[in-house]
Structure 1
Amino acid sequence: MKKSLLYILSSLLLVVTGGCSDDLNLSPISNKNIEGFYKTQSQFEQAIIGCYHGLRNANLKSNFSYQLTECRSDNAWQQVDYDDGMISRFTENAATPVLNTAWADLYNTVMRCNYILTRIEDATFEDEGVRKQIEGEARFVRALIYFDLVRYFRGVPIVDKPLTISEAYSVTRATEEEVYDFIISDLKAAIVLLPDVKPKELPNRATILAAKGFLGKVYVFQSGYPLNKNNWESAKSELEAVVNGIGQAGFFSKYEDIFLYENENKDQAVFSLGCQTNAQGEGNPYPSRNAPNGIKPGDTELTVPFGGSPWQLFFDDEILDDIFSEEGDERRVYSIQTEWEEKSGSIITNKPFVRKYQNGPISAASDWDIDWIMLRYTDVYMLYAEALYHTNNQAEALDIINKVRIRAGLTTLTSVAISSVDSFTDVLLKERRREFCFENQRWGDLVRTDRAFDVMKKFLSRYGIADNLKSKEQYFYPIPERETNVSGIK
């Protein structure tokens, strides 16, 4: 039972010893193992890299990052009865393995942050500015992990310190509102502590603008379903700071430029997860993972270096035609590859796949040297448009949407298209779906606007399983069964 508790409570009791490889060493639980760590600036610099590694694992490296988001939406479909198949078909339950993996990995990163935050005041630092930055980064990462947790599971336990085994047994589930308040508190604290600009040597570290951008996004989600807190003014204020972040954030004139290797950490990337090829698994797996398992390895336009993966996002021409319903949308060309060469030499034209981020050096399968943009300027820009609309700035909101459409090669809309809240939401969701397709955004957008039930009912009816979606309770996932069996959290 004790062994299960340690696993289920997702390393609430594990001690991070530093490092950022996939085989990060985690010490056994004992006071002796931590007495010599979390003492010096150097050790805290190692530990914060472990926090960033956990964030990258949760949002890029682990399969649950897209299975619980993109696979849940109408952007993908998996017929086979794997984890993502059950997620796609709304047949998952508390025993579905991917839920336990997500819970454990996310709380593992929470505890990495907690060890830093509970010990940093007593540590010796040569540079007090570094102390402030590391504390801000730990709060930033913890906030983003809880933002994932609350969007997956609604109310979850708020754990803000390392726990003993006996303390772990008494953990209770907070309300959704309490979790959002905790996230907001962490991000506000991070804004005070973080640096103004990205360090040139470490451009993937958090900044004030990154924290403000995510805080604005949190306010947008909090303003939507199910809390409906109407925090649009707060969202507008935080997002506006990023929109006006000249020299640090900005709008690219060409959509395809966003995902180019040479544009890493430029204005479009408010916050990116750093990836590096040939560095013991620190590369970006996204381009290879989303290529077909049967694609021929190679460096031609119809192949992919080192081949593809069985874990790709599956979709078909009907789904693509639904996403890119307006003719001439240039984002389709830069997001999707419709023709590729099979290992046998045959040319396949009826099984499209995602080609985003397929750029930059690569030294092994799923090991691309291109960063994953976790918060894009365009995301902030469109969330800002949403906040403007809900604070009676409809004309400016429409200008932003039209700017995004013009870049994509589409015609502009008139005010008639957004004459009501419902029509504005329709326009916004369509535009965000095209802009961020396969970037793990769609499901969250559907849920927070409370459109998920109707949209997914229609989508599932294509496959004759609309009855699988029974209620809005399925907007969120159940707490993993192994967790509830041990801890009693319901």
Structure 2
Amino acid sequence: MRKINILIFVFCLLFSMVGCHDDLDVENKSGISSDAVFSDEGLVEAFLYTLYSYTGVDYMRGIGSIGSDGPSNRLYNNTFQMASITDEARAKSGWVGANRNVAPGNISPTDNRGLEPNFWRNCYRGIRECSTMIEGLKDSSLEESFVSQMSAEARWLRAMLYFELVRRYGGVPLITAPQGIDDDLLVSRNTADEVYDFIFSELEAAANDLPSVNDGASRDRANKEGAWALNGRAMLYAERWAQSAMLSKRVIDAGMELSPDYNALFRSYGDDPEILFEVRVEVGTFAHGADKWNWPLGYRSEAGGQTNPTQEFVDSYETTDGLPITDPLSIYDPNDPYANRDPRFAASIGFHGNPFGLTPKTGIDRLDIEFIIGRDGLRNPNDGNDTQTGYYLKKFMDPSLGLDPDRGASKTSFKHIRFGEVLLNYAEAKNEDSGPDQSVHDAINEIRSRPSVNMPDIPAGLDKDEMRERIRQERKIELAFETHRWYDLIRWRIAEDVLNGKQFHGMKITRTTPVPDPYEAEYDPANLVYDPTFVVSTTVPQVFLPHFYLMPIPQSEIDKNINLRQNPGY
């Protein structure tokens, strides 16, 4: 495991030496020269550990010290999960950036607080620090294999940061050496193609010097298979289909495997065999806030209930016969809507009657989301943390925390790259490049045949367009709530159709029988009425304008650099 807290003080000493150009300091106050740092393995590793804080975590509030609201992770710092600005979910509270900024269309160069504030600045700060390490190791006298791996990890991290930039902003300045006070700081934007060229070459080179997970390489540090997978993802975004398919096929051929239990995968603390790169936490030191901010109403005493899946997303899950619920031949029953559904539904979404994995204060282990009267109920008047859609987030929730995870002390790792995504990346790239051959079918069916899922194979004989839609559907379900949906809608250029002007819905559940005294939850579908037309009235119809396909560069960066051009529409 990466030791997040070991020798962390070294970063403070080094910071004046590696800060970004807007706070350059020509005097090194640390008292430690760069020559000394890059001549000591312990100091080099300590420096590398600080670079991993830029790998990002989508959980609310990121990763921070237990009991604090301030994350130490410096890349993502959302007050919501990315799912809440897609058709996957809605955020509950008006104060979060999803509802205050993003959903109503208040995205601008001067107020981008709603979507990863300081992202541009922090990415370039991380890029500079990575470049400082890469340059510093070039003349190092340390053992060659150590230098090669440390340099490769820094190159992997730098390429990852450039990918995060290019998929948000398009072409960005490509800076590959640490800038000094005498350098030209008024750099222009490179094209997106030039950035993707750099990412491809950097990750190809890094992979050659990184250890393999098959040889015991850590999954919370850059490794060979993770470099191929990240590169395959980046080339998918670049629409370089042949390259993307080739890179993902390398991972497949390396013998990676899916975790047998889809539910347990997202509750793991580290080293699940499906994971290619993850951000772990230090038990007792660092944690994240997924449970604190998403726990159902009846299972905790503070916060929670923030990410509420939409009815539209719930309706995307097939029935166990492999048919959509809209197909008249499917076994879907609107009077018992949660029965006979793709098992990934019950693993990902908290619905009425779904066991939540622990015994709440009442002694009942199932969610009770009856309208108003339910312990976790939609429009429950006893608490402002009730669901707004009739559903809660279940994926990532950790039942081992007990009844009251209100200190943000979750310990599950954040899964950045996993083999399930690689299979989907391969299927999409291969289909776009040369059509739906048997390897495309095999990749999708491997995901659907995971032992805990066991869904039917997709139909044979699909043409390229039909396969494209099947792949998009499978990504939607398999990767639910894992940050991919927003960027998939963006790169497929369908975000306007899916999001703009949409007012999403939830499930209103009432009973046909009298409410007993003392109260008892009703779970018998025969006595319940399910109304999926309930409008989520606490949020406005979402606004997604054509120029939102690229994020605005912060105006503060434009003001500092006359050669930096803003994205169109802003």
| 2:248 aligned to which of 239, 253, 262 | 239
Paired AA for residue 470 in structure 1: L
Residue in structure 2 matching 1:188, options 204, 213, 223: 204
SS state of the match for residue 413, structure 1? Answer: coil
Cα deviations by residue, 1:324-373 (Å, 9 ceiling, x for unpaired): 66451111111122358799996013322222222376697223222211
Determine the structure 1 residue equivalent to 2:108. 93
The letter for the 1-side match of 2:549 is: Y
2:436·2:467 contact (CA, 8 Å) conserved in 1?
no
Asked if the contact 2:162–2:199 (Cα under 8 Å) also holds between the matched residues in 1, the reply is yes
> Which aligned pairs between 1:32-51 and structure 2 lie closer than 5 A?
32-33=28-29, 35-37=32-34, 38-39=37-38, 40-51=40-51
1:161 is displaced (CA, Å) by 2.0
Match of 1:386 in 2: 428
Partner of 2:94: 80
Partner SS state of residue 383, structure 1:
helix
The TM-score, its normalising length taken from structure 2, stands at: 0.70
User: Could you tell me how far 1:76 is from its partner in structure 2?
Assistant: 2.6
Secondary structure of the structure 2 residue equivalent to 1:195: coil
SS at match of 2:277: strand
Shift of 1:307: 4.7
Question: What is the correspondence of 1:57-206 to structure 2 with a 5 Å cutoff?
Answer: 60-61=62-63, 64=77, 69-78=82-91, 80=94, 82-85=96-99, 86-96=101-111, 97=113, 98=115, 100-125=117-142, 127-165=143-181, 167=183, 169-197=185-213, 202-206=218-222
Change (3 A) 1:53 1:139: same
Once the 2 structures are TM-superposed, how far is the Cα of residue 465 of structure 1 from its aligned partner?
A: 7.0
From the superposition, tell whether residues 66 and 243 of structure 1 become closer, same or farther in structure 2 (CA, over 3 Å): farther
Match for 2:544 among 439, 457, 469? 469
Partners of 2:89 and 2:145 lie apart in 1 by 45
Q: Which amino acid aligns with 1:134?
A: M
Check whether the contact 1:284–1:367 (CA below 8 A) recurs between aligned residues.
Answer: yes
Residue 487 (structure 2) pairs with residue 425 (structure 1):
no
Compared CA separation, residues 332 and 268, structure 1 to 2 (3 A): same
Query: What is the CA–CA distance in structure 2 between the aligned matches of 1:26 and 1:277, rounded to whole Å?
Result: 26
Distance 1:285 1:469 in 2: 28
- Which residue matches 1:453? 496
**1:288 corresponds to:** 292
Deviation of 1:435 (Å): 0.9
Q: Whole-Å Cα distance in 1 between the matches of residues 84 and 194 of structure 2?
A: 28
Cα 1:483–1:26 change in 2 (3 A) is: farther
Q: State the match for 1:277 in structure 2.
A: 283
Distance 1:19 1:450, change over 3 A: farther
**Partner residue in 2 for 1:220:** 236
Query: Deviation per CA, 1:296-331, whole angstroms, max 9, x where unpaired?
Result: xxxxxx525x85448x33444444334666451111
Is this contact kept in 2: 1:323–1:434, CA < 8 A? yes
Counterparts of residues 290-305 of structure 1 (less than 5 Å): 290-291=294-295, 295=297, 303=299
Greater radius of gyration (CA)? 2
Deviates more, 1:460-469 or 1:449-458: 460-469
Please state how far the C-alpha of 1:474 moved relative to its aligned partner.
1.3
Gaps of 5+ in 1: 1-16, 224-230, 296-301
**TM-score (norm: length of structure 1):** 0.81
Residue 353 of structure 1: aligned partner: 392
Shift of 1:243: 1.0
Give the superposition deviation at 1:276: 2.1
Q: Which residue of 1 aligns with 2:523?
A: none
Partner of residue 373, structure 1: 415
Q: Is the 8 A contact 1:276 1:284 kept in 2?
A: no
| Cα distance in structure 1, aligned partners of 2:8 and 2:292 | 21
SS of the counterpart of 1:271?
Answer: strand
How many pairs align? 447
Tell whether the 8 Å contact from 1:93 to 1:478 is kept in structure 2 after alignment.
Answer: yes
8 Å Cα contact 2:257/2:419 also seen in 1: yes
Cα deviations by residue, 1:153-197 (Å, 9 ceiling, x for unpaired): 111122222223564641222111111112112111111111123
SS at 1:348 equivalent = coil
Q: Which residue of 2 aligns with 1:27?
A: 15
